[in-house]
Amino acid sequence: MSTRCQRTQCGRKLTDPASQERGYGPVCYRKVHGHGPRLVPITRPPRYTPGVAVPLFELDGAPATNVRPSRDTRRNTRQAEAIRRGYHPLGVALRTNLPLHPDAPRGDDRKTPGPRCGSCTHRVVPLREVSGTYPKCNYGGDWRHATGGPGTDCRAWWPACHHHEPKTDSTTTEGTPR
């Protein structure tokens, strides 16, 4: 609490209790912060209370501690849940329940033997600019399971869907197997 304005160009005496609490009069506050003072008085916690933890910084615009997970994290969580329920993770992006291959491993254990997307002929890198170099599923030959986004990227470790066809030595007609 101060009796003089904290703005170096001003330094006037403050008579209003709210202005004394802020350290600025209403005009100087607007010049420093770009908007008028809040109508609600500022309450500050005591400087130090033994045995009570206080935050290191108290900022008005500080981010919340419960930050929403990123888009990639949310998508990966939905894909893992689909695998646990017995569906292929690509179905999350396609908004359909795409069943897993009967012999495919369940769960997200990447070392369990069984058919995987990495050993499927439908997993290819598209020959187009929009999707970059990330493998997609080309089941049906019309790229209906492929978009330019990461939601339709086909991971090699994913358990295979019911359309799984093991790779052979020949390449597919569109794209290159990977």
Do the beta carbons of residue 136 and residue 120 sit within 8 Å?
no
The phi, psi pair for 118, rounded to 5°, reads -65, -20
R_g of the chain, CA atoms, integer Å = 30
Look at the block and give the residue holding tokens 């009967």: 102
Q: In 127-155, which positions are buried (b, 16+ CB within 10 angstroms) versus exposed (e)?
A: eeeebeebbbbbbeeebebbeeeebbbbb
The reported pTM is 0.55
What integer pLDDT is reported at residue 177 of this predicted model? 47
Find the distance separating the first CA and the last CA of the chain, reported in whole Å. 68
Rounded Cα–Cα distance for residues 93 and 83 (Å): 13
What integer pLDDT is reported at residue 137 of this predicted model? 84
Render each residue's pLDDT in the chain as its tens digit; 178 residues: 778 888 878 888 888 888 888 888 888 888 887 766 655 555 555 555 666 665 555 556 655 556 678 888 999 999 989 998 889 988 888 888 889 998 888 777 788 888 999 999 988 887 766 556 788 888 877 776 677 778 888 888 999 988 899 988 654 444 444 4
The amino acid at 122: H
Do the beta carbons of residue 152 and residue 117 sit within 8 Å?
no
